[in-house]
A = this chain, B = another copy of it.
Amino acid sequence: MVAEPREIRDGTVTTPRGFLAGATYAGLKTYGVDKLDLGILFSERPATAAGVFSTNHIVSPSVTLSKRHIASGYARAIVANSGCANCCVGPQGLKDAQEVVAIASRKLGVAAEEILVCSTGLIGVELPMALLRQAIPKVQLSADGGHALARAIMTTDSRPKEAGVSFTIDGVEASIGGIAKGAGMIHPNMATMLCFMTTDLAVEPGFLQRALREAADASFNMVSVDGDSSTNDSLLLLANGTAGNKEVREGTPQGDAFRQALEAVCVTLAQAIAYEGEGATKGLEVVVEGARTLEDARCIARSVASSSLVKTALHGNDPNWGRIMMALGKTKAYVEEGKVALYINDVCILEEGRPIPFLRDAVVKIMSETRVSFRIQLNLGDSSARAWGCDLSEEYVTFNSAYTT
């Protein structure tokens, strides 16, 4: 017995039962709209944990330590700071991450190995441990602390990103909540994307990890340029079983419902990251339909959503569909020019690979909205995918030209 997930207004990482969170200002962050820069997420009972991490060869020791701790499949807490990435600082980085965890361990009364740690901010600067030793014990945890935590992990984000859904499984009311940070589409600024998610369901550990990986592939990995992965990217999910359900397993209706709800939250947060990219004035959804394989569909959707020429044309409200054709053809994915149809929102501007007369002024008007959709019908098969991005504006350049200076 399952039901469709329902969006929860103001849903966040403390929406699922049995999770507490809180944040404080440690003094690490000198920029951003909010001064909170240190926070903790805590599960009142041991939780099954899954994680997806940066594939960059250069990673923060915070990531290294979290990977080590999550290998057990369980976790109780996440400590996160913004303002400093704890990356490229030599052996001190791992020592500092371990000390952060040790301090949190004493505060929370759980083992250090049950704690995950995330850092985001400038690379090459050591964690100011004197500040963190003072601040970590001061974090106040509460059942509605998710909102504060969402603000504490922000760097150049213009607003916090939070989402939640509820659904019923076997008569048990359950929910999934999440928060994220990340402010760019092409190479998120300082290249960091963090997302913490929670659920009060009990979920079989192996399935939790596979479901998270799949949801990431359909969401966060569709707002990123191919191959781009930061030094600190971390997506973490804790499932603490407070709902009292029978453990959710793969290949069951309950498992499918969980997957669907998890993907819904991930897509909402991924869209928020893409649409509020640095300097963005509008959001872009690229829908690819009729591809031969899912991999082809995703590859093309990402290519179009991340093309600088497509993004600048979008910025100028310019229906320059030649650039879309270039971007969709340049990947390894199979395409037949003579079969391609292209829609801007629902206006068809290309059919069978050739332009059809369209009312230029109307399309320019459509492209000047804050949400624009490019739909590409390949007419080759049954696979489809969505990717999200934003326009590339002068402000993006101005902002990123003077970041450390």
Residues of A whose CB lies within 8 Å of any CB of B are 55-59, 85, 87-90, 122-124, 186-187, 189-191, 226-231, 307-309, 312-313, 315-323, 325-338, 350, 352-355, 364, 392-394, 396-398, 400-405
Report chain B residues within 8 Å CB of A319: 404
A330/B228 in contact, CB under 8 A: yes
Q: What's the Cα separation between A44 and B333 when bound, in Å?
A: 42
Residues of chain B within 8 A of A190, CB atoms compared:
322-323, 326
Q: Does the CB pair B231–A326 fall under 8 Å?
A: yes
| A313 surroundings in chain B (CB, below 8 A) | 400-401, 403-404
Return the chain B residue nearest A55 by Cβ: B330
Question: Of A56, A190, A308, A325, which is in contact with the most chain B CB atoms at under 10 Å from its CB?
Answer: A308
Contact B87 A330 (CB under 8 A): no
Most chain B beta-carbon neighbours within 10 Å: one of A189, A312, A319 = A312
- Asked whether, in the complex, the Cβ of A326 is within 8 Å of the Cβ of B124, the reply is no
Which of B85, B322, B327 interacts with A322 by CB under 8 Å? B85
Contact of A186 among B229, B308, B332, B403 (CB under 8 A): B308
Give min CB distance, A317 to chain B, whole Å: 8
Interface centre among A122, A228, A401 (most CB of B within 10 A): A401
- Given A87-B325, A88-B337, A315-B401, 11 more A-B residue pairs with CB atoms under 8 Å apart are A56-B329, A58-B328, A58-B329, A58-B337, A85-B322, A88-B354, A186-B308, A226-B227, A318-B403, A322-B404, A394-B397
Rounded to whole angstroms, the CA-CA distance of A336 and B5 in the bound complex is 44
Q: Roughly how many angstroms separate A385 CA and B400 CA in the complex, as a whole number?
A: 27
A326-B401 contact given A57-B334, A88-B355, CB 8 Å threshold: no
Residues from chain B with Cβ under 8 Å of A392 in the complex: 397
Question: Which B residues are CB-close (under 8 A) to A404?
Answer: 313, 318-320, 322
How many Å from the CB of A166 to the closest CB on chain B?
37
Complex: how many Å from CA A329 to CA B55?
Answer: 9
6 A-B pairs closest in CB distance? A123-B322, A316-B401, A58-B329, A312-B400, A394-B394, A57-B335
Indicate if the CB atoms of B57 and A353 lie closer than 8 Å: no
28 contacts between A and B (CB under 8 A): A57-B335, A123-B323, A123-B326, A124-B322, A186-B308, A187-B307, A187-B326, A189-B309, A190-B323, A191-B309, A191-B330, A226-B227, A227-B332, A231-B326, A231-B329, A308-B308, A308-B400, A309-B400, A312-B397, A312-B401, A313-B400, A316-B400, A317-B405, A318-B402, A318-B403, A318-B405, A364-B405, A394-B394
Nearest-neighbour CB distance to chain B for A304, whole angstroms, equals 12
Contact present for B397 and A393 (CB under 8 Å): yes
Chain B residue nearest in CB terms to A326: B191
Q: Is the beta-carbon distance between B400 and A397 smaller than 8 angstroms?
A: no
Residues in B with CB closer than 8 Å to A309 are 187, 189, 191, 400
Q: Which residues from chain B contact A354 at a C-beta distance below 8 Å?
A: 88-90, 124
In the complex, A332→B56 CA distance in Å? 8
* In the complex, residue of chain B having the shortest beta-carbon distance to the beta carbon of A352: B90
Minimum CB distance partner of A331 in chain B: B227
> In the complex, are the beta carbons of B124 and A355 less than 8 A apart?
yes
Contact A326 B230 (CB under 8 A): yes
A43 CB to nearest chain B CB (Å)? 32
